[in-house]
Structures are given as C-alpha cells and as structure tokens.
Amino acid sequence: MSAVDGAPVPMTAKRRGAQLAMLAFAVLIVMGAYASVGLGLDGKIPSGMLTYGLGLGALMLAAYLVLAKFAPWADPLLLPLVTLVNGIGIVMIYRLEQAPMPGANATTQLMWTALGVVMFSATLIVLKDQRALQRLTYTAGFAGVILLAIPAVLPASLSEVQGAKIWIRLGQFSIQPGEFAKLALVVFFAGYLVAKRDVLALAGRRLLFIDLPRARDLGPVLITWGFAIATLILEKDLGTSLLLFGTFIAMLYIATQRTSWVLIGILLFAGGAVLAGMAFSHVEARFDAWLHADSPELYETAGFQLMQGLFAMGSGGILGTGLGQGHPNLIPLAFSDFIFPATGEELGLTGLMALLLVYALIVQRGLRTAIAARDPFSKLLAGGLSFILAWQVFIIVGGVTRLIPLTGLVTPFMSAGGSALLANWMLIAVLVRMSDAARRPPPQAIQDEGLTQVMQR
C-alpha cells in the first residue's frame, strides 16, 4: 500500500495515533470528573476512581482494538467523542447515587456500557459491508414495526412504566424495544428511498415556489404519519413518534432535495399532534405541563420535574456549581430523562455547551461520512443515522429547556438505561463501518492493464 502511505491527500490517512490520543484524553477527562465529584462531596478522591477509570479505559481500548482490526480506515473521532459523553454520563449517575438518589446506579450503567461495547464490536465484526443491509430493507422495516408495536399490544402491567407504554418487562429485566426499532426503521427508510427516490423527486408540478408531489406519491408519507400518530396515541410516547417521523422527513429531503416534503411533513405532524391533543387527555396534559409549567396549579404536579430542572440549570449559571457541589438530586429522575439539567447545574452553561458541541461533532462526522460515501444507500443510511442522533438530542434538550413539549426520550449515551445505550452503540458501529468504507482508498488494480485491452462481460 505504498501508494497510499505517501499520498499527498490527507483524507486517506488512518489517523490511528490521533484516535488513540483523543481516546486517552477522553478517559482522562472522565477520571478527572470522577475525582472532582469526590473532592466536591467529601473532600477526598473516591476510592473507586481507578476502578471506574481503568474499567472505562479498558473497555474503550478493547473497542479501539476491534475498530483498528476490522475497520482500520474508520473515522478517528467517533469513538473518542462517544467515550466522553458516555463517561460523563456514568460520572453524573455516580454523583447522583452518592447524593443519595434511589434508582441511580453507576455500576449498572458501567455494565451496560460494557455490553454496549460488546454490541459495537459484534456489529463491526458481523457487518463486513454496510450494503448487506440494503438486501434487508423490508425485513428491517417489518422488524422495526413489530418491535415498536409489541409494547402497544401487551397488557399495561407488562409494558407500562410511569405512564409510557414502551417497555417489555419480564420480572427484574426490562427493555425498550423502540430503541432498536428506530435503527431498523432507519435502515428500512434508506433502502426504500433509494429504490423510490426518482419518482418522489421528479414527478409532480410546480406551484408558486415549491414543487408539489403527485397525490399518489404521498402514500409512504401518510403511512409513516399514521404510524407516528398511532405510536403517540397507543403508547403515550410523543418522543418516539416525533423522532421517527422527523427522521423519515429528513431522509426524504436528503433523497429528493425537495423542500415541499419538509413542509408537508411539518404540517402533517403539527396537525396530527394538535388533533391528538384535543382528542386524548394524556396528550393534552403533556401540552399543558409544557405551556403552564410555572402556574400554581401545575407546579406541584405535572410541571414539577420540568421546573426543578430549570431551577437547577439556573442555579448552575455560567460556570456551574462544580461537580459534587450542587443539588441535582432535587430533580425527579435526574439520572435518566433529566440528566442534562443535572449536568447543567454542576458544569454550568460552559460545560453544557461543550457537551452539545461534542454531540454536534459526532453528528458532523456522521454527515461527513454520508458525503464521502460512494453509493446512494450508504449516503442515505449515514445521513439518516446522524440525523436521528442529532434530532434525539434536540428533542430531549429542547424538552428539558422548555423549548418544546417534554417527551420521555433518553439523552443518547448519557442517560441511565440499557436499551438506549446498546442501540446507540450499534448505531455508532454502523457509522464507523460506513466511514471505514468511505475513507478506504480505492482498491488496487490486480495487474496493469494495457490501453488496448477490452473488458468483456
């Protein structure tokens, strides 16, 4: 591969050193955060710092070795960036566990992270070429729908936790199939849109400034829309519904470059949500808790969590109270849905902005992979997976900052929760696989063919 090593083009460099250095840096920051929590709480470095730090370091080293072996050309930044947010999440959960806050358990989260790394490695090893997923388009779509529908069909005793019917509970063990469904559905959307995008992009007529599609091409959008609204109503889960529909619209836009699809999508979803709000009390209650969270009637009940989160971020201010020195345990569920305001109290606006930038960089690497990908399916899949990550961060951060109605989505990689962590690690594995394919230099010719040679097929 001498032609590659000496190539003047930096794109094809493997950047292994940079990757390892950034990975070590991320683990060091996490260990620093851990020490800082201990110093803030009781003035001494916690005894478990080395266990946690080295545990995380060993896990990430394993992930790095798998990546270096099975996807050597992959993007150097994805793994370190994910390591940082995952590690900060564990530290925050540890901090809440020490507060003490019932339910927060950092050891479980570290264990789930280990399982996440196993899933990451397994996905990288099994999935040799992401285009194999294209053959599974309809299988993935079917699997996604089934996974999403199971909790809606199960009786509430087996599927409902705190008002959201999105779980499968088997005794002690519970998983959220929706987290895996969203991966399967993105694969389905990508495969489907590659096959249909010409008709969706070209047919139709122009009205004023936008190209309107034909009425019969609205079918897929309407079906996805109906599906999203059904999720909203049957599973009482505004978050997943918004997440899936938004992702479909974004991928439709990537595939067709037509603004009209985005407008149609927004109108459909807004209309559907308003109608659902009028017809179903639990959706209406969500909207009320958002619009009037600070009213005296709702403050003690539905708006309490939201307001506590806002107070926490307010008391954090620009620089935060410092790790271990705030009172994030006053926010209900601070270790799962509200980990972002809890982090905001202790790290302040400065820390939150850095975290948001880390998410933005992960998404940027994903979109960059989409641009560099060489076939339409990989382009759409990388674009879709990056978008769903960005969109999820937007929905939950928008929710806890009261920009949009609060929905029960997890903050990717930070919130306590096994299913989400596993699914997101798989998502990153697929992105890594695609960035490996996109950055790999073109295959070497087997022989130097002469100019006159004719290729026959």
Partner 1 sequence: MSELTLLLIRLAFLAALWFFVIAAVGVIRTDLFGPRTAPAVARKPAKVAKPPSRAKKGDPRQLIVTGGPLQGTIINLTETPITIGRANDATLVLSDDYASSRHARLFPQDGQWIVEDLGSTNGTYLERSKVTRPTPVPLGVPIRIGKTVIELRK
Contacts to partner 1 by CB under 8 A: 2-12, 15, 18, 22, 25-26, 28-29, 32-33, 36, 39-40, 43, 76-77, 80-81, 84, 131, 194, 197, 319-320, 322-323, 325, 347-348, 350-351, 354-355, 357-358, 361, 364-365, 371-376, 379, 441-445, 451, 454-457
Cα(435)–Cα(161) distance, rounded to whole angstroms?
38
- Minimum CB distance to partner 1 smaller for 156 or for 445: 445
- Minimum CB distance to partner 1 smaller for 344 or for 417: 344
- Minimum CB distance to partner 1 smaller for 208 or for 445: 445
- Minimum CB distance to partner 1 smaller for 195 or for 278: 195
Question: Among residues 376, 366, 320, which one has the least CA distance to residue 343?
Answer: 320
Q: How far is CA 147 from CA 196, 236, 376, in A?
A: 25, 16, 27
- Minimum CB distance to partner 1 smaller for 171 or for 443: 443
- DSSP code of residue 444: P
Q: Which two tokens stand for residue 206?
A: 């122009």
Torsion of CA 360, 363, 367, 372, to 10 degrees: 100
DSSP one-letter string for 147-169: HHHHHHHS-HHHH-BTTB---EE
Q: Which two tokens stand for residue 400?
A: 């806890």
Q: How far is CA 388 from CA 30, 182, 185, 245, 412, in A?
A: 26, 9, 11, 10, 10
Judging by beta carbons within 10 Å of its beta carbon (0-12, 13-18, 19+), is residue 171 exposed, middle or buried?
Answer: exposed
Least distance to partner 1, CB of residue 50, Å = 18
Least distance to partner 1, CB of residue 335, Å = 20
Cα(314)–Cα(316) distance, rounded to whole angstroms?
5
- Minimum CB distance to partner 1 smaller for 194 or for 306: 194
**Are the C-beta atoms of residues 200 and 217 closer than 8 Å to each other?**
yes
Q: Are strands 205-207 and 173-175 parallel, antiparallel or unpaired?
A: unpaired
- Minimum CB distance to partner 1 smaller for 91 or for 185: 91
Least distance to partner 1, CB of residue 432, Å = 15
Least distance to partner 1, CB of residue 139, Å = 19
Least distance to partner 1, CB of residue 77, Å = 6
Least distance to partner 1, CB of residue 387, Å = 17
- Minimum CB distance to partner 1 smaller for 281 or for 453: 453
Least distance to partner 1, CB of residue 445, Å = 5
Q: Vertex 160, ends 117 and 112: CA angle to 5°?
A: 15
Residue that has been written with the tokens 């909203």 in this structure: 232
Cα(414)–Cα(364) distance, rounded to whole angstroms?
19
- Minimum CB distance to partner 1 smaller for 28 or for 274: 28
Least distance to partner 1, CB of residue 119, Å = 24
Least distance to partner 1, CB of residue 420, Å = 23
**Are the C-beta atoms of residues 167 and 174 closer than 8 Å to each other?**
yes
- Minimum CB distance to partner 1 smaller for 269 or for 413: 413
Q: What are phi and psi of 155, to 5 degrees?
A: -65, 155
205 SS3 class: strand
Least distance to partner 1, CB of residue 325, Å = 7
Q: Which two tokens stand for residue 247?
A: 């992702």
210 SS3 class: strand
Q: Are strands 205-207 and 210-212 parallel, antiparallel or unpaired?
A: antiparallel
